[in-house]
């Protein structure tokens, strides 16, 4: 019997689906560094990265066992997509909970400028409500534009870093941002969100 290490990802998935648990261990060892680094490069927090990494492989295991994995020949892309969606889900849930964390690396709502309003509760509430409304508007953008806004403003990534992460040109990243800002301005004006604050 040949070593599992020489099998392709798709062969290993098939082996695992039919009960060979060792096959998934090979898949895990083969891709764990790449998947963890992908997650960490976005969230910039090791503990959070560990949690999302574990959840990624748990979801992969569950999906494969339930027969939900389609044999496309791109297992690692599928795995990366799971990780990406879990990262986005984490930040969406955090935003929905409206919890402000002291850890800027872990939570996108840890707005550094919020400290300016510490001495004025009413201004602080207004500021938070405005930002929460802008998050709602951001989530209504087309997916490609929403991701650019998230990475640029919430993760403080440069357009060069975003282009490399999303495997697009810098001009494409800039173009998506330009359209995203235009769309957000329009929606914000329609909802009278921006009265005392400007979107730039």
Q: Delimit the domains of the chain by residue range.
A: 1-103, 111-200
- CATH tag, 1-103: 1.10.1740.10
Q: Which has more confidence, 61 or 122?
A: 61
Q: Which long-range contacts (CB under 8 A, 24 or more apart) does 168-175 make?
A: 173/148
Query: What was the pLDDT predicted at 191?
Result: 62
> Residue 179 contacts by C-beta under 8 Å, 6 or more apart in sequence?
145
Count the residues in the chain.
200
Q: Does domain 111-200 have CATH number 1.10.10.10?
A: yes
Residue 195 scores a pLDDT above 80: no
Summary mean pLDDT of the chain: 75
Give whichever of 25-29, 134-138, 141-145, 191-195 has the largest mean pLDDT: 25-29
Residue 17 scores a pLDDT above 50: yes
| 97-121 average pLDDT score | 40
**Segment 137-176, tens digit of pLDDT:** 777 888 888 888 888 877 778 888 888 888 898 888 888 8
Tell me, yes or no, if the two domains 1-103 and 111-200 fold the same way.
no
Query: What was the pLDDT predicted at 31?
Result: 92
Whole-number Å distance between alpha carbons of 177 and 160: 13
Residue that has been written with the tokens 């534009």 in this structure: 145
**pLDDT band per the 50, 70, 90 thresholds, residue 99:** very low
Q: Note whether 112 and 120 are within 8 A (CB).
A: no
Residue 15 scores a pLDDT above 60: yes
Largest CA distance in the chain: 72
**pLDDT band per the 50, 70, 90 thresholds, residue 123:** very low
Q: Which has more confidence, 114 or 177?
A: 177
For CA atoms 91, 95, 97, 99, the dihedral sign is: positive
| 104-132 average pLDDT score | 41
**pLDDT band per the 50, 70, 90 thresholds, residue 53:** very high
């Amino acid at each position: 019997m040949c070593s599992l290490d020489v099998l392709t990802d798709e062969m290993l998935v098939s082996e695992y689906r039919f009960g060979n648990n060792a096959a998934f261990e090979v898949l895990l060892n083969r891709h764990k560094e790449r998947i963890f680094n992908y997650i960490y490069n976005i969230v910039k927090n090791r503990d959070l990265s560990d949690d999302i990494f574990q959840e990624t492989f748990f979801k992969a295991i569950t999906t494969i066992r339930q027969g939900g994995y389609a044999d496309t020949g791109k297992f690692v892309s599928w795995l990366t997509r799971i990780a990406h969606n879990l990262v986005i889900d984490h930040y969406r849930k955090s935003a929905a909970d409206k919890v402000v964390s002291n850890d800027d690396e872990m939570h996108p709502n840890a707005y550094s400028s919020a400290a300016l309003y510490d001495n004025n509760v009413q201004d602080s509430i207004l500021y938070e409500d405005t930002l929460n409304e802008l998050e709602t508007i951001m989530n209504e953008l087309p997916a490609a534009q929403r991701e650019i806004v998230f990475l640029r403003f919430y993760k403080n990534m440069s357009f060069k870093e975003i282009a490399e992460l999303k495997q697009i040109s810098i001009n494409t990243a800039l173009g998506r941002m330009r359209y995203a800002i235009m769309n957000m301005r329009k929606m914000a004006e329609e909802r009278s969100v921006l009265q005392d604050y400007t979107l730039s």
